[in-house]
Amino acid sequence: MTHLIVKNGFVYDPMNHVDGEKMDIAVANGKIVEKVEEKKAESIEASGMIVMPGGVDIHTHIAGAEVNSGRLLRPEDHFRDVEAKTAITRSGVGYSVPSTFTTGYRYSRMGYTTIMNPSMPPLEARHTHEELNDTPMVDKASYPLLGDWWFTLEYLRDGKIKECAAHVAWIMVATKGYAIKIVNPGGLEAWGFGQNVRSIDDPVPHFNLTPKEIIRGLCKVNKLLHMPHTIHVHTNNLGKAGNYATALDTMKCVENLASGDKPIIHITHCQFSAYKGSDWRTLKSGAEEIAKYVNHHDHVTLDLGQVVFTNTTTMTADGPFQHGLYQLTSNKWVNHDVETETTGGIVPFRYRRKSYVHAIQWSIGLELALMVKNPWRIYLTTDHPNAAPFITYPQIISWLMSRKAREKTMLRINKRARHKSLLPSIEREYNLGEIATVTRAGQAKALDLKQKGHLGIGADADIAIYNMNPELVDPSKKPKTVRKAFENTAYTIKNGEIVAKDAKIAKPVNGKTFWVNPQLSSPTEVADDMKRRFREYWTIEYENYSIPESYLATSTPISVKAEV
Amino acid sequence: MPVVSKVTCPVCGSLCDDIEVVVKNNVITDVKNACAVGAAKFLDYSNRKNVKPLVRKNGKLVEVSLSEAVRKSAKILADAVYPIMYGWSSTSCEAIRVGLELAEEVGAVIDNTTTVCHGPSILSVKDVGIASSTLGQLRHRADLIIYWGCNPWSAHPRHVERYTAFSDGRFQKSTWRAYISRLGGALSKKRLRRAINLILRRDAFATPEVTHEIPYTMFQKKRKMVLIDIRRTHSADAADYFLQVEPNKDYELLQAFRMLVADEELEVDQVAGVPVKTLEEIADVMIGCELGIIFFGQGLTMTEGKLRNIDSAISLVRDLNQRTKFLIMPMRGHFNVTGANVVSTWQTGYPFAVDFSQGFPRYNPGETSVIDILCREETDAGLVIASDPVAHFPKKAAQNLVRKPLIVIDPQTTPTSLMADVVFSPAYVGIEAEGTAYRMDHVPLPLKKIVNPPSPCLSEAEILRRILQEVRRLRSKPN
Amino acid sequence: MPKLKVLLQTVRTIDQGTGKEHGKLSEEYQESVAICQVDPEDMKLIGMREDGNVRITTNFGSVVLRLVKSQAAPHSKIVFIPYGPWASLIMNPETHGTGMPSLKGIPAEIEPALKEKVLSVPDLLKEYYKRE
């Protein structure tokens, strides 16, 4: 393997408390090392450049049944954005729902090296992994949807936490999943008959338990299994006016399960759950209340789901929410229910600057990012492609770093929304260290990916080098320069190899697929129970449900010792 | 005797995965759980005519080595300006992935059998979307099951038993018993009618008049099945109600239902040969169900209106979702036609008719679809895999296909393979080779290798991989 | 000769499905696919009994097939032919910009052809797809 040395860059490595120091980073055999013999190493001159760990995205819809239906649904999205084949790369298309190869290349060119696919219907996990095998350049993982799985509902209804945990462990291995994903708990089961739940205390039809019991139950399960990530929650009532109260209820309902300062719940794309008001006309920001709660409680982490004004595609497992969006827009609508497990929906959507609601949504995301004080607790995402495609991250970075950039956009948004926005009162501007935290270090920590998100000795040599000199450029005053710098790296290094250089892919590589392998004390008991009940619940056979490890191009299991 | 169980059946889009296959000395001797078509496939697959690759020399197909056939194929594709690569729906996703890479490499148009089957359905999904689900959702919950323009009894023989009316779910039970008693009733009614006819000296075996009266069971609060078609197929016998529509009038019927669901009045006596009163009653059943599903087949996609029929059917379902829960699903034919769409979409953004001639994926059915390209005589070479266009394309298209150099990858001898310049006989995927396939509802399933293929038959994926390597070798050589 | 104007539908049948698995050059295949299913009332109109041959002609071609009495009658003036090389000879290749040829609901004429033969697959290929 090659030895590399990245010389003279301004290094931002918040996990190791390095904040813009000029230093060299040595790489050997795919890892960060103390030093390498300079003569034998390939040298990368990074003077005047920013050096960060490779980007980590905690929540981005890039693969699987839902994403692929989105691709199918949107030829008009592809016609205007194509990538031609080169001698070393595959062709592709797509602005908001790019094809798999294009997804990998674009993330890599932006300096991202690890991305998490947050929405995997267990029954269709094989599909997700097939697509991940065709998504080059990045390490990845997927979260199976477990909040409305009949086994979850039945065991939690009966108060059988340990049995529930054992079954969750089984499905984590069967589907090669990484974290417990909960979407509109209870609401998806209700959507099977076209209904929904209205609050975390509204009982799930036919199952006699509440969303609160599901959230608390799976939170306990998560602890019993010692999962690396917390439960990853898309709240009830997402996208509805007044739902900030539901988001607060969701965070509060697990408060007494926390111990120490360790987070136990992640509220994803929080912008979509931070609305005050009683309808769209009276919509207001609930960011202040949510930020206040998060600032006073250690058990919660958030990601943004930041809106950018553009034409994109919404896709979630939240079937009833997507149906609501279809009713609102009369746009084309895909619904996909998955037996005994979950639902899904897709609606194309355009966020318009001049729309009051959309402008408020835009404002809420930034308010959250700026009002939550600790950058380790809130992460930059667009819930790609729901609030915007991931290629808009550089623009969001420029908003976070520059009040001037925010004000410039404010001038062009809906007037009423501008008057209501809390942004003019916020002075805060992120520095580069904080940007490194919300785009990689914090996310890696939340995911407990110990080799990722930092440049300490022994970390994976995933490095992003951006061509911007922090001594010469004031990000506050030069948002355009910031945006341009973060759009394409000067170098992206993956596993110790230069894989992208000057906005071009230099070397196509396959990434790893992480999955969690909880070690149970008696795994056969669960397997027997599953086998017995399988045919009643699903329309495929037990033997054909589990995905063999050989199915993953580069399988990377993470073993954890469970307490059951 | 060794039994291989939980085998996925590589025949139709129902992709039943509970087949048991008895194997003795690398020969399949018995099959359990499969339908007639599935059993025929497992028991008769092995009567292939040739195992060695063939190349046409002096007008005759003669046996050659694998490497010669690969070289010849690569040369045909590398020399072509606008080759087409067609078929794909009866092979594995693994083969399709390599096929797409090969198509990209040679700048081909790659199209799958969707183009002559549910192509209009997909065009329509792109226009309006689709509200659908996996089949188990319907097994558990659907209390109104409508098959429209399709014939599951013939084309998807176990569909009703595994996924809909005759399957047991959590919230809905099988209507099998009711069907048996109804069958008995129908039989005695038939005898009675014949007796009356004899007494009245009418033609004893005259076909019955079409009746539009809706049986009372349709108004009960329990699971029911409706068949809508232009003729009374065997599938109609399993249904609670059969609605006969005049040919090419499906669009009118669908639009009439849409009006009724929207509480509008129809100011005519009948639509598509059906009295409006009957339609009103069925519309009420649709609105009143807990979860309804429309399965549709080529009776909608191929008849007059094509994609507009599907637009209308999907829109009907969209409308019904304002009143209750309603879903819709195309009855996909070949066992992995869904997989062909799925893989093509994740790699290129488009499900079929993908044109790589400009170095990136382009898609415009009607222009980049294989029938149109053939009818315009634009192509100069072809590769056909696991499909038989000479037997199934309109004459003009097939004639223009066989006029140019043609490579066929198919274990069976077919009209198309008889016309080819190079023929590969691959291992049968799902019997002699493993892989992945997608059920009609997008659920992926593994295909098993049950017996060894005869030497030198390779998997389709491997044959394509070798052709791709050879093409790259040819291209890297300085001219 | 009595001719009858009909609408032609190509269809899938379970026999065609199993016949296909037996191989496309097999007798089973020809037996199950080279057929035309006609309503008994229409059979009377052209003076035909089961198993005689009929000629079906559309704007796109003409083919001789074995007549079979329909089990799904009544469907007056509609005839059904399973997909296969025989049906393909008389299909409409027009896709109307959709990629999909018109395979159902095609206007056609049927007439008795008692003295004519149904082409076997090899003969059919020789006649229509002969390579240059």
According to the 3-state scheme, what is the secondary structure of chain B? CCEEEEECCCCECCCCCCEEEEEECCEEEEEECCCHHHHHHHHHCCCCCCCCCEEEECCEEEECCHHHHHHHHHHHHHHCCCCEEEECCCCCHHHHHHHHHHHHHHCCEEEEHHHHCCHHHHHHHHHHEEEEECHHHHHHHCCEEEEECCCHHHHCCCHHHHHCCCCCCCCCCCCHHHHHHHHHHHHHHHHHHHHHHHHCCCCCCCCCCCCCCCCHHHHCCCCEEEEEECCCCHHHHHCCEEEECCCCCHHHHHHHHHHHHCCCCCCCCEECCEEHHHHHHHHHHHHHCCEEEEEECHHHHCCCCCHHHHHHHHHHHHHHCCCCEEEEEECCCECCHHHHHHHHHHHHCCCCCEECCCCCCEECCCCCCHHHHHHCCCCCCEEEECCCHHHHCCHHHHHHHHCCCEEEECCCCCHHHHCCCEEECCCCECCCECEEEECCCCCEEEECCCCCCCCCCCCHHHHHHHHHHHHHHHHHCCC
**C49 pLDDT exceeds 90?**
no
pLDDT tens, position by position, C50-85: 889 999 999 999 999 999 999 888 899 999 999 899
Cβ within 8 Å of A, B 34-73: none
Give chain A's largest Cα–Cα span: 70
DSSP 3-state of A450: coil
Q: List the beta bridge partners of residue A512.
A: none
Question: In whole angstroms, what is the distance from residue A309 CA to residue C128 CA?
Answer: 58
Instruction: Look at B444 and A127 and tell me if their CB atoms are within 8 Å.
Output: yes
Q: What is the pLDDT of residue B203?
A: 60
CB contact under 8 A, B394 and C100: no
What percent of chain A lies above the pLDDT cut of 90? 96
pLDDT at A102 exceeding the cut of 70: yes
B128 and B187 both lie in a single domain: yes
Contact between C93 and C67 (Cβ < 8 Å) = no
Q: Is it the case that residue C132 has pLDDT exceeding 50?
A: no
Residue C103 pLDDT class (50, 70, 90 cuts): confident
Cβ–Cβ under 8 Å, residues B291 and B324: yes
| Contact predicate B365/B353, CB 8 Å | yes
Name the residue type at position A352: R
Residue of A nearest to B329 (CA): A336
For residue range A355-376, list pLDDT tens digits in order: 999 999 999 999 999 999 999 9
Q: Which of A90, A100, A334 sits opposite B104 (nearest CB)?
A: A90
Contact C98 B306 (CB under 8 A): yes
Burial (CB count <10 Å: 0-12, 13-18, 19+), residue A318: buried
Taking the Cβ of residue C57 and every Cβ of chain B, the question of whether any pair is shorter than 8 Å is answered with: no
Confidence band for B202, pLDDT divided at 50, 70 and 90 = low
Listed residue (C103, C34, C84) closest to B371, CA to CA: C103
Question: Is the CB of C5 inside 8 Å of chain B's CB atoms?
Answer: no
Is 60 exceeded by the pLDDT of residue B397?
Answer: yes
CA distances, B203 to each of A60, B194, B200, B448, C104 (Å): 70, 9, 9, 54, 32
For A323-339, write each residue's pLDDT tens digit. Answer: 999 999 999 999 999 99
Mean pLDDT, chain C, integer: 88
Query: Residue B347 has which token pair?
Result: 């790699």
Q: Note whether B154 and B239 are same-domain residues.
A: yes
Q: For chain A, give the mean pLDDT.
A: 97
pLDDT, position B210? 59
The mean per-residue pLDDT over the stretch B121-136 comes to: 96
Q: Are residues B152 and B297 in the same domain?
A: yes
- In chain B, what residues touch C122 (CB-CB under 8 Å)? 418
- Where is pLDDT greater, at B190 or B147? B147
pLDDT of B206 strictly over 60: no
Query: Is residue B356 located within the same domain as residue B261?
Result: no
What is the DSSP secondary-structure string of A465-528?
A: EE---TTT--TTT-HHHHHHHHHS-SEEEETTEEEEETTEESS--PPPEEEEEEE-S-HHHHHH
User: How far, in Å, CA of A107 to CA of A113, rounded?
Assistant: 7
Q: Search chain B and give the residue with CA nearest A74.
A: B126
In which band, very low, low, confident or very high, does the pLDDT at A394 lie, cut at 50, 70 and 90?
very high
Instruction: In whole angstroms, give the CA distance from residue B311 to residue A365.
Output: 37
List the single best residue of B360, B363, B436 to mutate versus A (max A Cβ within 10 A).
B360
Task: Identify the pLDDT of residue B37.
Answer: 92
Interchain CB distance below 8 Å, B442 and A193: no
CB contact under 8 A, B318 and A333: yes
Integer Rg of chain A from CA: 22
- Which residues in chain C touch residue B227, judged by CB atoms under 8 angstroms apart? none
Verify that B159 and B254 share a domain, yes or no: yes
Residue C131 reports pLDDT greater than 70:
no
| CB atoms B347 and A83 under 8 Å | no
Chain C's closest residue to B403, CA to CA, is C131
What would the DSSP string read from start to end of A186-205?
THHHHHTTT----STTSPPT
Question: In chain C, whose CA is at the least distance from the CA of B236?
Answer: C72
Last residue of a domain, one of B330, B353, B381: B330
Tell me the residue range of the domain where B245 lies: 119-330
The verdict on a CB contact (< 8 Å) between A539 and B290 is no
Give the pLDDT of residue B176. Answer: 86
CA of B230: which chain C residue's CA is closest?
C75
Query: B194 and B298: one domain?
Result: yes
C12, B333: Cβ pair inside 8 Å?
A: yes
When pLDDT is averaged across residues A498-527 and rounded to a whole number, the result is 94
Same domain assignment for residues B190 and B280: yes
Tokens describing residue A358:
């959309």
Task: Name the band, by pLDDT with cuts 50, 70 and 90, for residue B479.
Answer: low
3-class secondary-structure state, position A457? coil
pLDDT at A212 over 80: yes
Let me know: does C13 contact C32? Beta carbons within 8 Å.
yes
Q: Which of A276-285, B184-193, B210-219 has the highest mean pLDDT?
A: A276-285
Residue B259 located in a structural domain: yes
Cα of C113 to nearest chain B Cα, Å:
22
Look up tokens 């065991």; give the residue: A155
Would residue A376 be called left, alpha or beta, if left means φ above 0 and alpha means ψ between -120 and 50 degrees? alpha
Closest partner CB to B365 (pick from C17, C22, C99): C99
Identify residue A281 by its one-letter amino acid code.
R
Confidence of residue B478 (pLDDT cuts 50, 70, 90): low
Inform me whether the pLDDT recorded for A213 exceeds 50: yes
Residue among B106, B93, B237 nearest B165 (CA): B237
Task: Write the pLDDT tens digit of every residue in A139-166.
Answer: 999 999 999 999 999 999 999 999 999 9
Chain A residues near residue B126 by CB distance under 8 angstroms: 72-75, 332
Q: Which domains does chain A have, with CATH numbers?
A: 3-53+455-505 (2.30.40.10), 143-447 (no CATH)
- pLDDT of B46 strictly over 90: no
The β-bridge partners of C33 are none
Interface check C74 vs B, CB under 8 A = yes
Residue B308: name the closest of B253, B359, B230 by CA.
B253
Q: Which chain B residues are Cβ-neighbours of A204 within 8 angstroms?
A: none
Nearest to C88 by CA among C17, C34, C46: C34
How far from each other are the two terminal CA atoms of chain B, in whole angstroms? 58
Same domain, B95 and B178: no
Residues C25, B413: C-beta atoms closer than 8 Å: yes
**What are B270's strand-pairing partners?**
B275
Question: How far is the alpha carbon of B136 from chain A, nearest alpha carbon, in Å?
Answer: 5
pLDDT at B221: 86
Final residue before a domain boundary, out of B274, B306, B330? B330
Q: What is the pLDDT of residue B173?
A: 92
CATH code for position B177: 3.40.228.10
Between chains, do C128 and B395 touch, taking CB under 8 Å as contact?
yes
Q: Is B307 on the interface with C (CB under 8 A)?
A: yes
Instruction: Say whether the A–C interface has 3 or more Cβ pairs within 8 Å.
Output: no
Q: How far is B294 from chain A (nearest CA, A)?
A: 14
Contacts of B137 in chain A (CB under 8 A): 192, 337-339
Stretch 220-239 of chain A: residues touching chain B, C-beta under 8 Å:
none
- Chain B contact for C76 (CB, 8 A cutoff): no
Residue B57 tokens read as 């020399």
The answer on pLDDT for B193 being more than 80 is no
| Alpha carbon of A437: minimum distance to chain B alpha carbons (Å) | 32
B403 and B469 fall within a common domain: yes
Answer yes or no: do B236 and B184 share one domain. yes
ipTM given for this complex: 0.96
3-state secondary structure string across A111-136 = CEEEEEEEEECHHHHHHHHHHHHCCC
Give pLDDT tens digits for B335-379.
Answer: 999 999 999 999 999 999 999 999 999 999 999 999 999 999 999
Give me the mean pLDDT over the A239-266 stretch: 96
B and C touch with 3+ CB pairs <8 Å, answer yes
For chain B, the domain total comes to 2
Instruction: State the average pLDDT over residues A507-534.
Output: 92
CA B430 to chain C, closest CA, distance in angstroms equals 14
pLDDT in tens, A163-186: 999 999 999 999 999 999 999 999
Give pLDDT, residue A117: 98
- Check whether residue B451 and residue B405 sit in a common domain: yes
Of the candidates A471, A470, A452, the residue with the CA atom closest to the CA atom of residue A462: A452
Query: Quick check: A194 contacting B, CB < 8 Å?
Result: yes
* Chains with at least 3 CB pairs less than 8 angstroms from chain A: B
* C87 to chain B, closest Cα gap in Å: 8
Q: How far is the alpha carbon of C112 from chain B, nearest alpha carbon, in Å?
A: 23
3-state secondary structure chain C: CCCEEEEEEEECCHHHHHHHHHCCCCHHHHHHHCEEEECHHHHHHCCCCCCCEEEEEECCEEEEEEEEECCCCCCCCEEEEECCHHHHCCCECCCCCCCCCECEEEEEEEEECCCCCCCCHHHHHHHHHCCC
In the prediction, which pLDDT does A27 show? 97
Q: Name the pLDDT band for B53 (thresholds 50, 70, 90).
A: very high
In whole angstroms, how far apart are CA B274 and each of A550, B191, B230, B284?
A: 56, 27, 12, 16
d(CA C90, CA A209): 62
For position C1, what pLDDT does the model report? 61
Instruction: Map residue A348 onto helix, strand or coil.
Output: strand
Measured distance CA(C97)–CA(C103) in Å, rounded: 15
Of B283, B305, B330, the one marking the end of a domain is B330
Return the CATH number at B420. 3.40.50.740
pLDDT tens for A23-68 read 999 999 999 999 999 899 999 999 999 999 999 999 999 999 999 9
Give Cα B444 distance to the centre of its chain.
16
Of B131, B346, B436, the CB nearest to A99: B346
Kindly state the average pLDDT of the residues A467-477.
Answer: 97
CA distance A333 to chain B (A): 5
φ, ψ (nearest 5 deg) of residue B203 = -60, 115
Position with higher pLDDT, C102 vs A132? A132
Instruction: Tell me if B394 sits within 8 A of B370, measured CB to CB.
Output: no
pLDDT at B253 over 80: yes
What pLDDT score does B235 carry?
A: 87
Residues B181 and B312 in one domain: yes
For residue B205, pLDDT over 70 is answered with no
Interface of B with A in 263-292 (CB under 8 A): 290-291
Q: Is the pLDDT of residue B395 over 60?
A: yes
Task: Indicate if the pLDDT at residue B12 is higher than 50.
Answer: yes
Interface-testing mutation among A150, A334, A335, A531, with chain B (most B C-beta atoms within 10 A)? A335
DSSP A547: P
Q: Which residue has the tokens 């230069």?
A: A498
With beta carbons under 8 A apart, name residues in chain A contacting B135: 339, 539
Amino acid (1-letter code) at residue A58: I
Q: Where are the domains of chain C?
A: 4-129
- The DSSP H or E segment spanning A76 is helix A75-79
C4-129 fold: Barwin-like endoglucanases (2.40.40)
Reply yes or no on whether the pLDDT at A192 is more than 70.
Answer: yes
**Rounded to a whole number, what is the distance in Å from the CA of B412 to chain C's nearest CA?**
7
Judged by DSSP in three states, A286 sits in coil
Does the distance separating the beta carbons of B131 and A73 come in below 8 Å? no
pLDDT of residue B207: 55
Q: What is the pLDDT, as a whole number, of residue C26?
A: 84
